[in-house]
Structure 1
């Protein structure tokens, strides 16, 4: 059994001093936690991914289209598509799931 608790994941991220950390990489799934600071500098990825928003709100841009997001929302991003979080609140943090 694998269990990742949100509180412990956030604590590990804070302790790392990084914007994201990998928490699990097994079979066809990678799990990360991500907290961009002021600007989301992501580039398109070579895998499909989805986000589940832990906290905060803002605007998500996917291939030139925007949509608002908030805590609890699910966002899917196909591989190789430009995307980023914009105008996000200071408390924004999200789970990131990559599917290989």
Structure 2
């Protein structure tokens, strides 16, 4: 067992980019926190792994080619590997607990 300290907690980005911190990594999954400040721009690109977001703080909209949805604390979002997605209209500092399966970036290394 491991308690993952700080996972999902809002942390202001320290530079011009949004803040991504990986807090746990195994071969089968990784867990981290992604923070976007109010008014910020989400510039991520599709991932090679399946992904689950849990909104722990803030409000925004998630946009994919097929749908758009308002999200806030308690929202849980599944994004399959390869699907384009981004958060926009971030109206409150957004903190997301992120779970990747398998671990973030691990499939990209297989290519």
TM range (shorter): 0.7 to 0.9
Aligned residue number for residue 26 of structure 2: 26
Aligned residue number for residue 79 of structure 1: 81
Q: Name which of 70, 90, 93 aligns with 1:91.
A: 93
Q: Return closer, same or farther for 1:9/1:94 CA change in 2, 3 Å cut-off.
A: closer
Q: How many residue pairs were aligned?
A: 97
Any stretches of 5+ residues in structure 1 without a counterpart? none
Q: Return closer, same or farther for 1:91/1:36 CA change in 2, 3 Å cut-off.
A: closer
Any stretches of 5+ residues in structure 2 without a counterpart? 103-111
Q: Which runs of 4+ in 1 moved over 2 A?
A: 8-11
RMSD: 2.0
Normalised TM-score (structure 2): 0.77
More helix by share: 1
